[in-house]
Structure 1
Amino acid sequence: MTQKIRTLVVDDESLARRGLVVRLQAFDQIELLAECQSARQALAMIGEEQPDLVFLDIQMPSMNGFELLREVKASGFKMPLVVFVTAYDQYAIKAFEVRAIDYLLKPVDHERLEQSIKRIEKNLEQREQEQQQQRILNLLADATGEDCEDILKRLASGDDVNVARYPEHIAIKESGEITRVAINSIEWVDAAGDYMCIHASNETHILRRTMKELEEELNPQRFQRIHRSAIVNMEHVEKLCSRQNGEYHIVLRNGKELKVSRSYKDRIKKLILNP
């Protein structure tokens, strides 16, 4: 690994804590952030430093190691990799139930610690690869307008992923003039007979095209049909409201309310809950 493994050592026994720290100094890939003598202190450090790894004693006063992990999760902090270090082996099964990466018995010998760190490095490398893959998928999703899951399915089946290019502006001819309207400024579009009304930046432009033609030029990751004759820019949606009569309306940031037809309701609800 090119980056050091940012590490905390948590143990209420000073001798055990210092002994582990001394052994860890033999591994160049380990960067010791702090020694914590209590779970409360460790909780604060995890929230502040977001370490990659924690060597954690199980039996500690006030809050034990398992309780600390529950507090980390409840606080919404990034969960580090955990290696439990304890003088008792009866906690081994429970340690792996909470997905600890390893379980070391005190006193920890060098060979066993080396095995544990190799396992940690492998796990972190795999995690980094998965995060890189997700970043690439997100970029492809933005460029193609497809969901990440759909892209993975197409790649798995050997199909090509075509990168669509969506225009940044749309040209609208009105009263002998041609206005370039930024796509991102469009808040919503609604049909009016053979025309469409493009609502953007507190202005309304009239465009003589079909809804289907315009929809093909808009990135579906951002623009969604909410009605047979209406499209909205999801970046401008503030909330989705349900009425007593069962109808749904979206409210834009400018206060405009637009009705959502039943056929599009579930799709819009999903996008709002999982942007």
Structure 2
Amino acid sequence: MILKCIAVDDEPLALKLVETFIDQTPFLELVCSCDNAVEAMSLIREQQPDLIFLDINMPNLTGMELARLLQEQSGITPKIIFTTAYNHYAIEGYRVNAVDYLLKPFSYEEFLRATSKALQLSEETSTASQVINTDDEFIFIKVEYQWIRVSLKDISYIESLKDYVRVHLTSPLKPLLSLISLKALEEKLPSSKFMRLHRSFIVSLEKITAISKNSILINKTEITVGEQYKETFKVITDKWIK
């Protein structure tokens, strides 16, 4: 597996070092680099990298602020390795789910250790995302060390939990927890039966028991319809109530 990388640092020498280390690492590919977080946001949207090397202390928009923005935005989930000269940011870095934290000046050995961790996490996520869909009747979802066959008619809704999803099934079946992104699972589900209503939820349309302007009910569970999904949801619900 090759990880596409973006390097972001406002110090030219520090940026050059990261670029050199990336070039020396067989499983990394540098797709672009820049010296500020504002430009980085645009590049991340355009390039869809797997991994970002992100300096924390930058003018206008800090690396930590950029990481929080990425965390809040659906569909943008690159892994992050922070690079900084200040060790007091370490705990804050892990709060935004950073893979690792490199304290400047760092050696290639330290760089390789951090990037190897990112590679391992990416490979685990990739394996978990290989969900098999056969004739839109069932899927296989990896749960721990097993592939569990799940009938689509048994799925009520799916909830995102950072790098995991919880698949809620109809009673008396218990929820399943799988290491996969909500976006990856969404791509495996038939759009005629399932719909993303929120950056953290996918619902089975046939399991919806009540609707309102801003939310739906699946039995006793209320799920808010996210702002960016309201228009699409309205198109569907208009067909139901007219």
TM range (shorter): 0.5 to 0.7
2:8 alignment partner AA: V
Check 1:139–1:91 CA distance in 2 against 1; reply closer, same or farther (3 A cut).
farther
Check 1:146–1:98 CA distance in 2 against 1; reply closer, same or farther (3 A cut).
same
Does the alignment pair 1:30 with 2:28? Answer: yes
Take 1:109 and 1:224, find their aligned partners in 2: how far apart are those partners?
Answer: 54
Check 1:82–1:108 CA distance in 2 against 1; reply closer, same or farther (3 A cut).
same
What is the SS of the residue equivalent to 1:46? helix
Q: Could you report, residue by residue, the CA deviation over 1:183-221 in whole angstroms, capped at 9, with x for unpaired residues?
A: x9xxxxxxxxxxxxxxxxxxxxxxxxxxxxxxxxxxxx7
Q: How far 1:111 sits from its partner (Å)?
A: 1.0
- Mark the runs of 5 or more structure 2 residues left unpaired by the alignment: 140-149, 156-166, 177-191, 193-203, 210-232
**8 Å contact 2:71–2:96 — kept in the other structure?**
no
1:5 alignment partner AA: L
**8 Å contact 1:47–1:77 — kept in the other structure?**
no
2:153 alignment partner AA: G
Q: How far 1:99 sits from its partner (Å)?
A: 1.0
Q: Could you report, residue by residue, the CA deviation over 1:20-60 in whole angstroms, capped at 9, with x for unpaired residues?
A: 11122111110101111000110001111111000000000
1:145 alignment partner AA: K
Number of the residue aligned with 2:169: 150
Q: How far 1:129 sits from its partner (Å)?
A: 2.1
Q: How far 1:72 sits from its partner (Å)?
A: 2.6
Take 1:44 and 1:16, find their aligned partners in 2: how far apart are those partners?
Answer: 21
Check 1:144–1:72 CA distance in 2 against 1; reply closer, same or farther (3 A cut).
closer
Check 1:139–1:95 CA distance in 2 against 1; reply closer, same or farther (3 A cut).
farther
Number of the residue aligned with 1:61: 59
Matches within 5 A, 1:94-113: 94-113=92-111
Q: Could you report, residue by residue, the CA deviation over 1:95-149 in whole angstroms, capped at 9, with x for unpaired residues?
A: 111111100011221111111121111100111122224x559761596522154
Number of the residue aligned with 2:112: 114
Q: How far 1:65 sits from its partner (Å)?
A: 0.7
- Mark the runs of 5 or more structure 1 residues left unpaired by the alignment: 157-183, 185-220, 227-235, 241-250, 258-275
Take 1:84 and 1:91, find their aligned partners in 2: how far apart are those partners?
Answer: 9
Q: How far 1:225 sits from its partner (Å)?
A: 10
What TM-score do you get using the length of structure 1 for normalisation?
A: 0.53
Q: Could you report, residue by residue, the CA deviation over 1:71-110 in whole angstroms, capped at 9, with x for unpaired residues?
A: 3345545121000001111111111111111000112211
Does the alignment pair 1:252 with 2:236? Answer: no
Number of the residue aligned with 1:43: 41
Structure whose CA Rg is larger: 1
Give the fraction of aligned pairs with identical amino acids, expressed as a percent: 28
Take 1:145 and 1:23, find their aligned partners in 2: how far apart are those partners?
Answer: 49
**8 Å contact 1:8–1:33 — kept in the other structure?**
yes
Take 1:225 and 1:114, find their aligned partners in 2: how far apart are those partners?
Answer: 48
What is the SS of the residue equivalent to 1:55? strand
Q: How far 1:70 sits from its partner (Å)?
A: 2.5
What TM-score do you get using the length of structure 2 for normalisation?
A: 0.60
Take 2:35 and 2:208, find their aligned partners in 1: how far apart are those partners?
Answer: 56
**8 Å contact 2:81–2:99 — kept in the other structure?**
yes
What is the SS of the residue equivalent to 1:108? coil
Please provide the CA RMSD for this pair. 3.5
